[in-house]
């Protein structure tokens, strides 16, 4: 798959999210439940999601991930259970689109990292994914669209 990288200037985005550490092999089985937990918090506080769900990687090691999962929010949320108010940072970012199943998403990150290196940007920061396809509405993973965002220094 070929990836086109674009530079964007992002606005700071308030979010409702859960941050936790877990082993990488637990991510796929946990992500949906985490998003439902955040969604329930938004609904209970009558706060509307302001965009698609996201997964942010604060730190990734082979044995453990430090992640944040949630939704952009139209208003700050009060802490509820594991859900906390947070922010996706604004500023310059490199982005690309991945079309297909999540198990092939690594290629988008590799393409972004190669682009950053080729253009003199350090590969630092905490990238995130925005999930623009709803698996309940589009059950075929080959049709899913995921935006990968890598903030720039």
Q: How confident is the model at residue 1 (pLDDT cuts 50, 70, 90)?
A: confident
Say what the pLDDT of residue 11 is. Answer: 96
DSSP letter (8 states) at residue 89 = -
Q: Is 21 left (phi over 0), alpha (psi -120 to 50) or beta?
A: beta
Q: Where are the alpha helices (DSSP H) in the chain?
A: 27-44, 106-118
Tokens of 151: 């903030």
Q: Supply the pTM of this predicted model.
A: 0.94
**98/90 Cα distance (integer angstroms):** 22
Pairwise CA distance, residues 93 & 38, whole Å: 25
Q: Are 91 and 114 in contact (CB under 8 A)?
A: no
For domain 6-151, is the CATH number 3.20.80.10?
A: yes
The pLDDT tens digits of the residues spanning 115-153 come to 999 999 998 889 999 999 998 899 999 999 999 999 998
φ/ψ of 70, rounded to 5, equals: 180, -160
Residue 31, classified by CB atoms within 10 Å of its CB into exposed (0-12), middle (13-18) or buried (19+), is middle
Strand stretches in 31-119, DSSP E: 54-60, 65-72, 84-88, 91-99
The pLDDT tens digits for 79-92 are 999 999 999 999 99
Q: Go through the chain and tell me how many residues it has.
A: 153
């Amino acid at each position: 798959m070929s990836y086109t990288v674009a530079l964007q200037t992002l606005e700071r985005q308030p979010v409702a999210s859960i941050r936790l550490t877990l082993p990488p092999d637990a991510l796929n089985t946990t992500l949906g439940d985490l998003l439902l937990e955040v969604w329930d918090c938004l609904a209970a506080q009558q706060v509307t999601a302001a965009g698609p769900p996201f997964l942010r990687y604060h730190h990734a090691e082979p044995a453990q991930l430090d992640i944040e999962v949630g939704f952009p929010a139209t208003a700050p949320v009060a802490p509820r259970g594991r859900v906390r108010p947070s922010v996706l940072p604004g500023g310059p970012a490199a982005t690309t689109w991945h079309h297909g199943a999540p198990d092939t998403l690594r290629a988008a990150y590799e393409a972004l990292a190669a682009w950053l290196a080729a253009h003199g940007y350090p590969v630092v920061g905490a990238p995130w994914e925005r999930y623009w396809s709803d698996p309940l509405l589009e059950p075929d993973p080959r049709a899913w669209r995921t935006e990968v965002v890598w903030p720039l220094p």
